[in-house]
């Protein structure tokens, strides 16, 4: 026999719920400083020592090349900090991060539909980009910069890039945004408020890329909604990982060439819209998980206390 301990929700203010975003920027700054002084500067010093006649312009170009080559290392450092911060934050207070109150296990059918939805989101985002970019000329430079950045990172080491961008970064961002921000906001207001605000925070994290901040708002809202429906942090992690991995798959030259044709473009649109509809319809119809019996709150009769109740 053991006492039934009531799980208290996280009731935090709006400012405290948004704090992880500022913590993220601080960690980004800390990771950058750590990288510069521990990795980049020693490499630059060594390279300059081998060429005493190097000009300031050449030195800056050399430094830029060092930073580009180490982009993945910098991302690993940042995401490791984010994961550590998220886990530490939840270890300090009771949370619904890995909520055991719900019967929230995933089955094979759930995972298949999550993969379908993630692919649909990837196709859908690219469809929207192809529509809105011609309407707003200023966005083209943002798309070009984003593509150049991705191709540069992938060009350094494909396997390492897949592991970092495709897996490590999604895990870190989901623990931070859906795990911390969304969970705190949902207990400070309504679910729509939490979905909207957490998606906005997720969007702001991807600045200064305008185009990336636009589509991450919509994608982040879907991630938060799916998390709420399943009450399982693995759900947004799976969606995010598949979404990011899809960007690598569709960079393969034969696929790029195929989707550049009229027929390929038609397939791209059809598959994208169909996958989104199938994924969203499935998740929307899926009932939220039930609370396990021993965690159901029972109204305590007047004159009695929680200590008067035991559960098996």
> Omega into 208 within 30° of 0, i.e. cis?
yes
278 vs 35, more confident: 278
> pLDDT, tens digit, for every residue of 97-126?
566 677 778 889 989 999 999 998 988 888
Residue 103, helix vs strand vs coil: coil
Long-range contact list for 141-147, CB < 8 A, 24+ apart?
142/209, 142/210, 142/211, 142/212, 143/211, 145/209, 146/209, 146/211, 146/212
pLDDT in tens, 122-161: 888 888 877 776 666 666 666 666 566 666 665 566 777 8
Residue 8 is given by DSSP the state P
pTM, to two decimals: 0.81
Q: Which of 220, 217, 137, 216 is nearest to 174 (CA)?
A: 220
Which of 284, 162, 164, 170 shows the shortest CA–CA distance to 229?
A: 284
pLDDT in tens, 169-182: 999 999 999 988 88
Q: Pick the more confident residue, 121 or 37.
A: 121
- The answer to whether residue 24 scores a pLDDT higher than 80 is yes
What sign results for the dihedral spanned by CA atoms 171, 75, 89, 24?
A: negative
pLDDT at position 202 over 80? yes
Q: What is the mean pLDDT of the chain?
A: 77
What is the share, in percent, of the chain residues with pLDDT greater than 90?
13
Tell how many helices (H) and how many strands (E) occur in the chain. Answer: 14, 2
Q: Output DSSP code: residue 54.
A: -
Total residues belonging to the chain:
312
pLDDT at 12 over 80: no
Q: Which residue has the tokens 């393969």?
A: 252
């Amino acid at each position: 026999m053991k006492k039934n301990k009531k799980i208290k929700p996280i009731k935090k203010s709006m400012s405290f719920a948004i704090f992880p975003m500022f913590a993220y920027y601080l960690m980004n700054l800390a990771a950058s400083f750590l990288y510069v002084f521990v990795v980049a500067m020693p490499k630059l010093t060594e390279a300059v020592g081998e060429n005493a006649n190097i000009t300031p312009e050449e030195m800056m170009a050399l430094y830029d090349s060092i930073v580009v080559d180490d982009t993945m290392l910098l991302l690993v450092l940042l995401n490791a900090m984010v994961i550590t911060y998220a886990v530490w934050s939840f270890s300090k207070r009771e949370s619904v991060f890995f909520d055991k109150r719900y019967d929230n296990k995933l089955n094979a059918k759930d995972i298949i539909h999550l993969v379908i939805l993630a692919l649909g989101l990837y196709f859908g985002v690219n469809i929207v980009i192809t529509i809105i970019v011609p309407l707003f000329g200023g966005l083209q430079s943002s798309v070009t910069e984003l593509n150049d950045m991705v191709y540069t990172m992938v060009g350094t080491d494909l396997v390492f890039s897949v592991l970092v961008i495709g897996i490590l970064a999604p895990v870190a961002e989901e623990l931070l945004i859906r795990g911390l921000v969304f969970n705190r906001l949902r207990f400070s207001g309504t679910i729509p408020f939490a979905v909207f605000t957490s998606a906005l925070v997720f969007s702001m994290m991807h600045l200064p890329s305008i185009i990336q901040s636009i589509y991450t708002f919509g994608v982040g809202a879907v991630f938060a909604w799916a998390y709420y429906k399943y009450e399982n942090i693995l759900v947004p992690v799976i969606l995010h990982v598949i979404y990011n991995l899809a960007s690598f798959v569709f960079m393969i030259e034969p696929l790029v060439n195929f989707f550049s044709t009229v027929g390929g473009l038609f397939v791209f649109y059809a598959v994208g819209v169909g996958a989104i509809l199938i994924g969203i319809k499935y998740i929307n119809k899926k009932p939220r998980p039930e609370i396990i019996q021993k965690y159901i709150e029972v109204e305590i009769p007047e004159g009695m206390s929680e200590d008067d109740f035991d559960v098996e």
